[in-house]
Amino acid sequence: MNHAILLISSPDSKGITAAITSFIANNGGNIIHADQHIDEQSNTFFMRIEWSLVGFQIKREKITEAFSPIAHQFKMTWQLHFSDQKERVAIFVSKHLHCLYDLLYRYRSGQLNCEIPIIISNHPDAADLAKDFEIKFHEFAVLKNNKIEQEKKQMDLLKQERIDLVVLARYHQILTSAFIDSHKNQIINIHHSFLPAFAGKNPYLQAHQKGVKVIGATSHFVTEVLDEGPIIAQDTVAISHRDAVEDLVRKGEDLERVVLNRAVRLYLEKKILCYGNKTVVFD
C-alpha cells in the first residue's frame, strides 16, 4: 500500500499540528504514523507524518500544490515523499568490504527500500562482489594529481544514474567541497569511532593507544569539516586490555555494519531531519 510522507520543520506556533492533521483528515487521509518534536532552545517544530493514499481525495501529483498554502502560512521547510518511490543509492568503498557486503545482503533480501545501481571505488577489490550482486562497478583510481578530475567524472556518473544518496561504506578518500556541496545532506559516512573521539586516521589504533574500555562507530552526514557532520547513529561495544588492535578492528567492524545500516535505513524511510549540525531521528 502506498503512503505519503511529510517531513516538516518550522518555527513552532499554535495550531500547526492541527493544521497539518486537518489537511489530511479533511481530504480523507488515514494517518499511519505521526511523530513530532519541539526543540525548546530554538523554538523549532519538527514533524514526520505518514498517511495512506487509499481514499485520499487529492491526487498525488497535486498534493504539493494543495499543501503549499499551509506550508507558507507556518513558514515550513518541508519535503513530500511517497513510500513507493525508491531512492537511488551509490555506494563508495575502498578496500574494507564488510560494510558493502552487509548493505548488499540487506538490499538483496529486501530490507532496504532502494535501488543500488552503482558501486564506486578507488581500488579494484570490490569488483567481484559487485559482479556477484549484478551491480555496475566503477573504479576511479585517485592519485595526487587527478583527484579533482576523477571527482568530476564521479559527479557526472551520479547525475547520469540519478543518484539520491551516496553511502561512503569505508571510502578512504576525502571528498572536495565541490562534491559535498552538490549533495548536501545526501552523503552518509561511517566513521569507526565514537565521534568526536578519535576523528581522522586509524581510530582503532588511537583507541588502543589511549586504553579506552569501549569503542564505537558513528554514522553521519558528510560536511566540509572532516568527521564533523550531523550524527545520525552511534553505538559502542565494551573492550578490555586483552583486545589487541586487530580485535578492536574485528569488534568494531561488527558495529560499523550495524550503525551504517541503521543510518541508511532511516534515510530511506525518510526519518531524518537535519537542523544546525544535529539531526532529529524519528525512529
The least distance separating a second copy from the CB of residue 257, rounded to whole angstroms, comes to 9
DSSP for 149-204, written as a single string: HHHHHHHHHHHHTT--EEEESS--SPPPHHHHHTTTT-EEEEESS-TTTT-SS-HH
Residues 143-162 interacting with a second copy (rule: CB under 8 A): none
d(CA 39, CA 220): 20
The least distance separating a second copy from the CB of residue 165, rounded to whole angstroms, comes to 20
Q: Which of 28, 123, 138, 176 binds a second copy (CB under 8 A)?
A: 28
Q: Which of 95, 162, 184, 278 binds a second copy (CB under 8 A)?
A: 278
Task: Indicate the pairing of strand 136-139 with strand 77-82.
Answer: unpaired
Residues 245-264 interacting with a second copy (rule: CB under 8 A): 250, 254, 258
Q: Which of 214, 224, 225, 226 binds a second copy (CB under 8 A)?
A: 214
235 near a second copy, judged by CB under 8 A: yes
6 near a second copy, judged by CB under 8 A: no
Judged by DSSP in three states, 210 sits in helix
Q: Quick one: how far is CA 182 from the chain centroid? A: 15
Q: Are 220 and 231 in contact (CB under 8 A)?
A: yes
Neighbours of 125 (CB within 10 A): 15
Which residues, other chains included, contact 277 with Cβ-Cβ below 8 Å and sequence gap of 6+? 223, 228, 229, 230
Region near a second copy per CB under 8 A, out of 60-68, 70-78, 147-155, 270-278:
270-278
Q: Which of 2, 11, 25, 205 binds a second copy (CB under 8 A)?
A: 25
Region near a second copy per CB under 8 A, out of 1-9, 79-87, 154-162, 195-203:
195-203
Q: Are 59 and 29 in contact (CB under 8 A)?
A: no
Catalytic hit among 227, 235, 247, 254: 227
201 near a second copy, judged by CB under 8 A: no
Q: Is 246 exposed, middle or buried (0-12, 13-18, 19+ CB in 10 A)?
A: exposed
Nearest-Å Rg of the Cα atoms of the chain is 21
Assess whether 35 carries a catalytic annotation. no
Residues 36-95 interacting with a second copy (rule: CB under 8 A): 36-40, 55
196 near a second copy, judged by CB under 8 A: yes
Neighbours of 218 (CB within 10 A): 29
Interface with a second copy (CB under 8 A), residue total 65
Give the interface with a second copy as residue ranges (CB under 8 A).
12, 14-15, 17-19, 21-22, 24-26, 28-40, 55, 97-98, 101, 105, 109, 111, 132, 194-198, 210-214, 216, 230-236, 238, 240-242, 244, 250, 254, 258, 276-281, 283
Catalytic residue ranges: 227
